[in-house]
C-alpha cells in the first residue's frame, strides 16, 4: 500500500460515524514530526498541527492502533518499525519540511515549507495548490504559495 493510501485511511470516519476533525495531511505531518523529533508529545502536535487536543488524541490512537507509533512513557510518541517504514516512504517523496520564521512576510502566525521532488510537471500555476489549501481548512488560518524549480530558477 502506498503511504498516501495509508494516511488517507487514518482520516476516514470510523464505522459510519462522523469524520474526524483532522485530515489525511495531519496524519502525514504528525508521522513526519514524530519521526524527526521522537519522542514527541501531543501538546507539541496540537500547536503545530493547529487542531484540538481531542483530535490529536484520536489521531494518536489511530496511529497506535495501526501500529505506526508507540507511547514512550510520559515522554511522548515514538515510531515503531512499521512507522519507520511509512516515514521512509513519505520522506522519499517529501524529503524536507520545516517551520519558517518569516516575521512580517506572512499574514499568518506560522509558515511551513515542504520540498516535494519529482512533481513539478503537475503544477501549472499554483492556483490549484492554493485552492486545495483553502478547501482543506486553511481559510483564515493559512495559505499556500507554490514555487517550482525549472532549469535552476524558482518560478512562482
* Structural domains present in the chain: 3-93 (1.10.10.10), 96-155 (no CATH)
Contact 97, 114 (CB under 8 A): yes
Count other C-beta atoms under 10 Å from residue 57's C-beta: 13
Beta strands in 116-155 (DSSP E): 148-150, 153-155
pTM of the model as a whole: 0.76
Confidence of residue 92 (pLDDT cuts 50, 70, 90): confident
* Sequence-ordered alpha helix ranges (H) in 50-124: 53-65, 81-93
Q: Which H/E stretch holds residue 124?
A: none
- Asked if residue 113 has pLDDT above 60, the reply is yes
Amino acid at each position: 500500500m502506498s503511504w498516501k493510501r495509508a494516511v488517507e485511511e487514518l482520516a476516514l470516519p470510523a464505522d459510519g460515524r462522523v469524520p474526524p476533525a483532522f485530515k489525511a495531511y495531519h496524519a502525514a505531518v504528525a508521522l513526519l514530526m514524530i519521526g524527526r523529533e521522537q519522542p514527541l508529545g501531543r501538546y507539541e502536535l496540537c500547536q503545530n498541527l493547529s487542531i484540538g487536543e481531542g483530535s490529536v488524541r484520536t489521531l494518536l490512537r489511530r496511529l497506535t492502533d495501526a501500529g505506526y507509533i508507540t507511547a514512550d512513557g510520559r515522554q511522548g510518541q515514538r515510531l515503531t518499525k512499521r512507522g519507520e517504514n511509512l516515514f521512509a516512504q513519505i520522506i522519499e517523496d517529501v524529503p524536507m519540511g520545516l517551520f519558517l520564521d518569516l516575521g512580517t512576510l506572512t499574514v499568518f502566525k506560522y509558515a511551513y515549507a515542504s520540498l516535494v521532488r519529482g512533481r513539478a510537471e503537475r503544477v501549472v500555476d499554483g492556483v490549484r495548490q492554493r485552492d486545495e489549501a483553502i478547501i482543506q481548512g486553511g481559510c483564515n488560518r493559512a495559505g499556500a504559495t507554490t514555487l517550482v524549480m525549472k532549469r535552476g530558477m524558482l518560478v512562482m
